[in-house]
Amino acid sequence: MSQTGLPTPPSVIEKETVEAVLNNTALDSTPNVVDGMAYARLYGEPLFNLPQDLYIPPNALEVFLETFEGPLDLLLYLIRKQNFNVLDIPMAQVTTQYLVYVEQIRKHNLELASEYLLMAAMLIEIKSRMLLPVKKSDTGEEVDDPRAELVRRLLEYEQIKLAAQSLNELPVAGRDFFHALADINTEVEKPLPSVNANDLKQAWLDILKRAKLNAHHRITREVLSVREFMTSILRQLQHKQFMEFSELFEDLITNEQPRSVLVVNFIAMLELSRESLLELTQAEPYAPIYVRLTYQSVVN
């Protein structure tokens, strides 16, 4: 039981479970490993036995203290604890210890992550492959060691774990040190620059020069009336039987009118054609287009 009055979950005895496995002793035959641990402290004294009338709700809060961070962490602990060479792992012994540990965890009703079962299957496979006779490849070279992939993962995990420990030992704000909150007056009176009349004159000339460079161009929108252009086209065709399409734009192009004027003039022509006031004729493809009035309009 923790200091909050709740029972300590069985996961806190994982380290003792591994120690029992390494000593080739089952957990059930070493009750001191479990009973020798205090469930809680009552008025400063360790409490080894739970009261008979103690009721613990099924949904009581449990604080799990993970001893191992995963199957690789457990394997690395087993190997380093017994001073095994990580490059020459005794698979039979390590696999047996690993499976006994997994079985003990399951016996104590702890939720076992799927990664532990996957690693158990991998160890059994490697152990089985180690029992088979070594076969040589067609070139006469021996095949790769079945433990090679496991060794690589263990070495990488150990390097990452050591790097994480080194980072954790670095000073951390809020844990190892705190920022000073002292109010330090850092205002320093800046001395005024020494200038004369010539400096002021040169500064003013620079301002005028920059103002000319930053001159803004104002663009105004020209209001063009389609009706006015329609009237202009009707006046041009009033006393002519027909005109070529390009002749209606010659004066505009000659006077260097903007593109917007040409566009509005073309729209006015299309509007006249839509209102059946203008007729466009073309004898054949790519031939000149001729424009004429559908009737003799009188435009004042």
* pLDDT tens profile 81-133: 888 888 888 988 999 989 988 888 777 656 666 888 888 899 999 888 888 87
State the Cα–Cα distance between residues 233 and 235, nearest whole angstrom. Answer: 5
Q: Could you tell me which residues come within 8 angstroms of residue 239 by beta carbon, excluding any fewer than 6 positions away? A: none
Q: Which DSSP state fits 215?
A: P
Q: Could you give the angle at which helices 259-274 and 226-237 cross, rounded to 10 degrees?
A: 70
Element (H, E) at 197: helix 197-213
- All structural domains of the chain, each given as residue ranges with its CATH number in brackets, are 10-132+145-168 (no CATH), 226-293 (1.10.10.580)
Q: Could you tell me which residues come within 8 angstroms of residue 298 by beta carbon, excluding any fewer than 6 positions away? A: 238
Contact 61, 6 (CB under 8 A): yes
**For the ranges 56-60, 160-164, 238-242, the one whose mean pLDDT is highest:** 160-164
Neighbours of 8 (CB within 10 A): 18
State the Cα–Cα distance between residues 2 and 9, nearest whole angstrom. Answer: 9
Helix (H, G, I), strand (E, B) or coil at 58: coil
Neighbours of 9 (CB within 10 A): 15
| pLDDT over 70 (residue 134) | yes
Nearest to 130 by CA among 111, 155, 147, 113: 147
Tell me what pLDDT residue 140 has: 60
Contact 57, 1 (CB under 8 A): no
pLDDT in tens, 282-298: 888 888 888 888 875 44
CA angle 154, 9, 102 (to 5 degrees): 40
What average pLDDT does the segment 173-194 reach? 79
In Å, the largest CA–CA distance within the chain is: 125
Tell me what pLDDT residue 141 has: 65
Tell me what pLDDT residue 204 has: 92
State the Cα–Cα distance between residues 289 and 124, nearest whole angstrom. Answer: 91
**Least-confidence region, from 41-45, 210-214, 260-264, 268-272:** 41-45
| pLDDT over 70 (residue 161) | yes
| pLDDT over 80 (residue 274) | yes
Q: How far from each other are the two terminal CA atoms of the chain, in whole angstroms?
A: 110
